[in-house]
């Protein structure tokens, strides 16, 4: 029975857009924070960029009423930050190409 309730809840959330809107908001916020600290990201290795992004996200969440970069009381995963970093570097390289 509990399984069916979870499935039903997941369907409702999916119809409302799921986590897509939250992901977009996170990307926009972290993009703007990273652009403000662009020097830190330009020559950084993946590990350094990950640490810097996580640090910027933590600073943002400290001042926010509702933490944006936390889910279930835990920080977002390394995979999430890796996806964001790939997105950020792609956007940055396109901006430099123009």
In a domain, residue 9? The reply is no
In angstroms, the Cα distances linking 15 to 3, 8, 90 are 19, 11, 30
Contact, 82 vs 50, CB < 8 A? yes
Q: Does residue 2 sit within a domain?
A: no
Judge whether 59 lies within some domain.
yes
Give domain status of residue 61, yes or no.
Answer: yes
Query: What integer pLDDT is reported at residue 47 of this predicted model?
Result: 96
Residues 6 or more apart in contact with residue 78 via CB below 8 angstroms:
50
- Report which of residues 31 and 6 the model is more confident about: 31
pLDDT tens by residue, 18-59: 578 889 999 999 999 999 998 888 889 999 999 999 999 999
pLDDT band at residue 9 under the 50/70/90 scheme: confident
Is 1 contained in some domain?
A: no
- DSSP strand pairing (70-71 vs 74-75): antiparallel
Structure-model confidence comparison of residues 10 and 56, the more confident one:
56
- If you ran DSSP here, which 8-state letter would residue 71 be given? E
Q: Torsions phi, psi of 19, nearest 5? A: -95, 5
What is the domain extent for residue 61? 20-97
Prediction pTM value: 0.77
Give pLDDT, residue 13.
Answer: 60
In a domain, 69, yes or no: yes
Total number of domains constituting the chain:
1
- pLDDT of 46 reads 94
Segment 60-97, tens digit of pLDDT: 999 888 999 998 889 999 999 999 999 999 988 887 66
Map residue 86 onto helix, strand or coil: helix
Q: Is residue 10 part of a domain?
A: no
Residue 14 in domain? no
């Amino acid at each position: 029975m509990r399984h069916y309730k979870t499935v039903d809840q997941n369907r409702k959330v999916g119809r409302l857009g799921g986590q897509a809107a939250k992901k977009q908001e996170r990307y926009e916020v972290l993009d703007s924070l990273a652009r403000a600290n662009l020097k830190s990201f330009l020559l950084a290795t993946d590990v350094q960029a990950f640490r810097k992004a996580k640090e910027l996200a933590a600073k943002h969440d400290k001042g926010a009423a509702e933490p944006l970069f936390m889910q279930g009381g835990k920080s977002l995963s390394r995979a999430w930050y890796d996806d964001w970093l790939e997105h950020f570097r792609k956007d940055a390289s396109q901006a430099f190409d123009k």
